[in-house]
Structure 1
Amino acid sequence: MAELKIKRAGIIGMGPVGAIIASHLQKAGLDVAICDLDKIKMNLIRTEGLMLEGVIKKKNFFKNIFTSIEEFESYKPDILFVSVKTTHLPQLMKNIAKLDLPDTPVVCAMNGIDVEKIVSSEIGEARTMRMVINFAGNLNAPNVVNVTFFIPPNYLASIDDSLTEAAEEVAASLNSVSLETKVVNSFEILKCIWEKTILNASLSALCAVGRMTIKEAMNNPDTIELVEQIIMEAVEVAAIEKIKFEDNFIRKCLRYLNKAGNHFPSLAVDLLNNRPTEIDYMNGKIVEYGRKHYLRTSLNLTFTNMVKAISNKNYTSTVQTAKTAVSQSNMAKEFISKHENGNIKYCFLGVDLGSAYTKFSVIDDNENVIFQTAIKTLNRDRLSVRHVIDALKSEYTFNNVCATGYGRKHILDADVVKTELNCSAMAVSKIFPGAKNIIDIGGEDIKIIKCNSEDKIENFYLNDKCAAGTGSFITEVAERADIRIIEMSDLASKSEYSKSLNSFCTVFAKTEIMNWLFEGLPIEDITRGIYLSILNRILKLRIDPLSPIYLIGGVVAYHPYLRNLLMEKFNKEVQILNNPQFTVSYGAALYAKESFVKKDFNSTEVKI
């Protein structure tokens, strides 16, 4: 066998797919560098190794472990694999395109139709390859993957056939360690992509909506009938796109699905954890191509819309999708090592365990913030928080820890526990003492906190009966209007429209949005109307017009136009705190310091 040209491989994204590929390429003798922006995960891989369990069992240690994309410039990989959520891919590819790696091929090892086009739009077709994965797994721990099945082969292709030789080398390496991979041409890979997407689409949304594992769905005659109909719709769409399957394809799909394990598909896991899903590149793409040819795809449309309707994403999840790589990288750069800060005598940690994200703030003895970050809140709250706290303890010596948020009682490291209301008031009062209104717009509720001149909570108001006017409300109605979240404030600032949505109910509000669209209302006016409805919801709660107003929470960080509306309404200055998404965790850190100084962990707090 001739000497291989591909000797160094980079893997970006250490989810189940990236972990499995990295483990096998290293076993095949390649020099492998792995990259993930989750510093906690990468520290665990560095110290404990990367473990595969289930139908494939391996344990690997890696020499090159990166937590930023830029590190690949000096590593100079011969090939890059990207295996991330499709919602993260556009920003990731923009970052890769900036690297000084002009000839490095990029393999898109992901699910979904047309995802390789996101890659080629940034680096060109001549550098783009697509891999269709026929294995699956889930995370038992950040560095432990349970491989649930592998039904060979995987498929690999250059999307313009110019990198066939490179594809053959990669396949040979994977085949040498029993991860069977077949090289196909640019036309054949399209059929493979559609086949795999149809398999994913047939069950992923169904399991997500029905909260069933794949095995549970395939053991139920009623759901099997739905699966078969979803596949039939997709096959019709594929046929119009000149992608033909054999006559027994549907039977073959059902046989394949029957071999799957008793686990949730990744889309269902994302939905259950309030994370953005990849539905747009699965059932959503089948619907999109069906519309292109005026072909009805009723079941695929139903499940696409149901997943979007019940996803309950808070706004933070939405803005993180395309920008996660950037935001997490920036957070990592805020980390200040204990060796660089030898003058720090005391450190205090505040943890805000929210429904979608857990936020961490570390302050020094002068109450200066020296570190802040956020991680997605998983079902295994204690496990994910435990890893972060352990990593922070390796950098800082904490004199006290304060926990807040809905999951505050689950943080076993906490020396003191406080409500979000107390922590919000503490943080804002530290910067702006005196009487005030604090408006906290979150993903699922709005809180108004009224503080007196002594910074004590005098009263508070909460819209806890539904999510109207919150981040999830914004997300749902913006999706219906096809408005990019990041552009909303700019669009609204160009309008003088005075009507708001009449309904606070998300379902009815989305119907109103459709009526506005049918009436031809400009997108700028629709956006302002959405914001006006949120303003009206805030005004239903009680704000003291004589006291200053301060805005906190993740929503206001990305919707500054809400500040403009409040200033217009009250004819006074309204301020947004710096890094408002971390206000509550900062307040918790201040409480940690206060309780340490007073040696009193039983201070009075407002109870909700």
Structure 2
Amino acid sequence: MAMEEEKGTLKVGVVGMGPVGQILAVHLKEAGAEVIICDHNKDLVKLIRKEGIHLEGKMAKQVMVDHAFDSIGELAGQFPDVIILAVKVYHTRTVLEELRIPGAGSPFVICAQNGIDVEEPVIDEFGEHRTFRMVLNFAGNLARTNAVNVTFFNAPNYIASVDDSQGPFAERVADLLTRAGLDTVTIDSFSLVDKVWEKTILNSSLSALCGITRLTIREAMEQPGMAEIIEQVIGESVQVAKAEDIRFGDNFVKLCMRYLRKAGNHFPSLAVDMMKDRQTEIEHFNGQFVKYGRKHYVRTPLNLLFTNMVEAHTRKGASLTPPEPLALAGMFALKDTGALREESPGSHFVGVDIGSYYTKLSVVNEAGEVVYRELLRTLNRDKNALHGALEDIKGRYEVAAICASGYGREHFPGADTTKTEVSCAAFAIDSLYPGRKNIVDIGAEDIKLIRAGDGGKVEDFYMNNKCAAGTGAFITEVAERAEIDLRTMSELAGRSEAMKELNSFCTVFAKTEIMGWIFAEMPVEDIAKGIYLSVANRIYKIRMETGLPIYLVGGVIAYHPYFKTILSERFGQEVVIPDQPQFIVSLGAALYARKYAEQEAATPGPPASEQKERA
């Protein structure tokens, strides 16, 4: 700290609170800098003000930043010494325009972004002498709105002044980051170009591929066919680099493949953008190799293919893929690595819950213990993702039987047996909490209330599937009208003392009612709670046997934990949310698969037709 005190505290503004921005903000603050963050998401900014930023996974840290704003103007008004851009490249010019505030001065600007030539807009605005570029070798994804799961860090990072005129300042920033454990090295501008191209080659080799195939980096590298394509893209890009007089070592392609094999089990940022139908940075990835290839008459068919496919996907937009109202940012596909057991002897049993929006898979061993879980988006016209997931599971474990459940269970040819969601939910909960009970399952398009007896036997159930009232789809549509971020909706509702609820359960009328609340300037916290109240009261009015424990399951419960609070108040007893509630039905299906295999072993012969449960 003595060095920082001697020079005076560095005032750093970080624009963009995605994983990169949050990771940099935490380390700079830990090293003694004054950190000012800015993000357009007002709910996120409020949460950071209240709870700070958390890092998990490969790095375990927590800090409270000095200032948090949701407008660039407020950040600029703090007169930071340097501004770090951690936003998508296509937002850079908008950010720079908002930084044009009289009297705000001209801070240094560091581009903490991926891609070739991303610093050009900053140079145009501030000049080369005030522009810096970083090459980052860490990655992560959002565990929660203000928490990042850091998946890997292959040290060091690199930083340089783009015209080499501000080397001492680059060293000062590098020293701060290194002091906090985020090792960063200062290099000259020529070495910077080499590092930028090297990192972009790595990103371009598989980002688009992962977005198209829905494979994580690790999954893509583990499949020989995909790895071969990745290697060819790298080789093609290296030829463009050579034409631009950027040289790498003789074993560069092999080193790239080795680096990628060490990458985490996560999706590249561009792939996540594709899967969420957002604009991508493909222009600065594969698109740059196409551009420079044309300049030097170097053919780049693979880079051109991926560039055009991603751009076509972007133009097509949401019509390519079904809606995903229950998804958290970055949570398109999930491998539950905490439950994953690479070495698990004996037979295993797979449960598949094919829902209207998501497909959940659970694998149990002979003891009924969960060894693997996976979440995939249900693709109406594409069964490859599910097929690939099952093949991966079969490659890891000895699979004895598969049970399918959910809306799509009858259209899944790989199942040995099928069971309804109601039966599976009751069977799974009974394995965790024996005895008679009530189960509330709030799904994307229906609500189920189940009364289950001993052994998971279904005694009675009610299902609301006539309309979307009170379902996940209802919550999503009404929340979107109120411009409430689903990721922070529970946290917002928890801060409200209001008891006003929506009068209408019809989505159309409810959205109109929400507009009235907005015009009346009702606080967003009260609106969030009002939406939850309306759903909770609808559930409460459904006849349910009193005196029994109540368990909440389903994807909506997983993403809206405030239901535990509000339903506990309504029923006058504590309701319980089991671990991983979105996987309860697939767990029940896996346990039924185990039961099916045991019955088959006891009575040899072809599977009985009655094993296919239609009810």
TM, length-normalised to structure 1: 0.56
**8 Å contact kept, 1:500–1:530:** yes
CA contact (8 A) 2:290 2:300 kept: no
**Deviation by residue 1:346-377 (Cα, 9 ceiling, x = unmatched):** 21111111122111111111111001011122
The alpha-carbon deviation at position 322 of structure 1 amounts to 3.8
Deviations 1:446-490 (A, max 9, x none): 111111345311111111011121112111111111212121112
Contact 2:424 2:588 in 1 (8 A): yes
Name the residue aligned to 1:580. Answer: 581
How far has the Cα of 1:384 moved from its partner?
2.3
1:50 equivalent in alignment to 2:229 = yes
Given the alignment, which residue of 252, 271, 290 partners 1:84?
271
TM-score, reference length from structure 2:
0.56
Q: Percent identity?
A: 36
Instruction: Determine the C-alpha separation between the residues in 1 that align with 2:364 and 2:336.
Output: 15
Q: Please state how far the C-alpha of 1:44 moved relative to its aligned partner.
A: 3.9
Correspondence 1:485 to 2:486: yes
What amino acid maps onto 2:321 in structure 1?
Answer: N
Are residues 562 and 71 of structure 1, via their aligned partners in 2, closer, same or farther at CA, if it must alter by over 3 Å?
A: closer
Alignment of 1:331 onto 2:379: no
Select the residue among 11, 15, 22 that pairs with 2:203. 11
The separation in 1 between residues aligned to 2:380 and 2:291, in whole angstroms, is: 40
Q: Which residue of 2 aligns with 1:468?
A: 469
Alpha-carbon distance, 1:511 to partner: 1.2
Pairs within 5 Å for 1:123-134: 131=284
Question: Using the alignment, how far apart are the partners of 2:214 and 2:274 within structure 1?
Answer: 18
- For residue 500 of structure 2, what is the aligned residue in structure 1? 499
Contact 1:425–1:451 (Cα < 8 Å) also in 2: yes
**Which residue identity does 1:11 align to in structure 2?**
N
Q: For the Cα contact (< 8 Å) 1:443–1:555, is it kept in 2?
A: yes
SS at match of 2:284: strand
SS at match of 1:371: strand
Q: Which residue of 2 aligns with 1:314?
A: 325
3-state SS in 1 of match to 2:532: helix
CA distance in 2: counterparts of 1:349 and 1:180, whole angstroms: 37
Structure 1 residues 444, 40: closer, same or farther in 2, change over 3 A? Answer: farther
Residue among 299, 302, 311 paired with 1:177: 299
2:321 match: 273
| Equivalent residue letter for 1:177 | R
Q: 1:69 to 1:336 in 2, by over 3 A?
A: same
* 1:268 to 1:501, Cα distance in 2 relative to 1, 3 A: farther
Q: CA deviation at 1:501?
A: 0.6
CA-based RMSD of the aligned residues comes to 4.2
Aligned to 1:409: 410
| SS of aligned partner of 2:336 | helix
Q: CA separation in 2, counterparts of 1:575 and 1:387?
A: 34
**Alignment CA distance shift 1:576-1:12 (3 Å):** farther
Cα pair distance change 1:13/1:410, threshold 3 Å: farther
* Cα distance change on mapping 1:470 and 1:458 into 2, 3 Å: same
Letter in 2 for 1:481: A
Which amino acid in 2 is paired with 1:37? T
The Cα shift of 1:71 comes to: 9.1
Give unmatched runs, 5+ long, in structure 1.
Answer: 21-33, 73-80, 90-109, 117-128, 134-153, 157-166, 183-195, 197-259, 276-312
Distance 1:173 1:542, change over 3 A: farther
**Structure 2 vs 1, CA of residues 607 and 390 (structure 1 numbering), >3 Å: closer, same or farther?**
closer
Aligned partners of 1:88 and 1:322 also within 8 Å: no
Structure 2 CA distance for aligned equivalents of residues 456 and 605 of structure 1: 17
Q: CA deviation at 1:40?
A: 5.0
Q: 1:430 is paired with a residue of what secondary structure?
A: helix
CA distance in structure 2 between the partners assigned to 1:85 and 1:429 by the alignment: 36
**Change over 3 Å in CA distance of 1:371–1:132 after alignment to 2:** closer
Shift of 1:47: 6.1
Corresponding residue of 1:419: 420
Alpha-carbon distance in 2 for matches of 1:37, 1:180: 20
Equivalent position of 1:569 in the other structure: 570
> Separation in 1 of the partners of 2:222 and 2:302?
30
Shift of 1:379: 2.7
Distance 1:332 1:406, change over 3 A: same
Amino acid at match of 1:176: V
Q: Secondary structure at the residue paired with 2:445?
A: coil
Distance change in 2, residues 1:394/1:440 (3 Å): same
Distance 1:71 1:462 in 2: 37
Please point out which of 216, 226, 229 is paired with 1:37.
Answer: 216
For 2:364, what is the secondary structure of its paired residue?
strand
Aligned CA distance change for structure 1 residues 172 and 518 (closer, same or farther; 3 Å) = same
Residue 529 of structure 2 aligns with an amino acid whose one-letter code is R
Q: Label 1:35 to 1:500 Cα distance change in 2 as closer, same or farther (>3 A).
A: closer
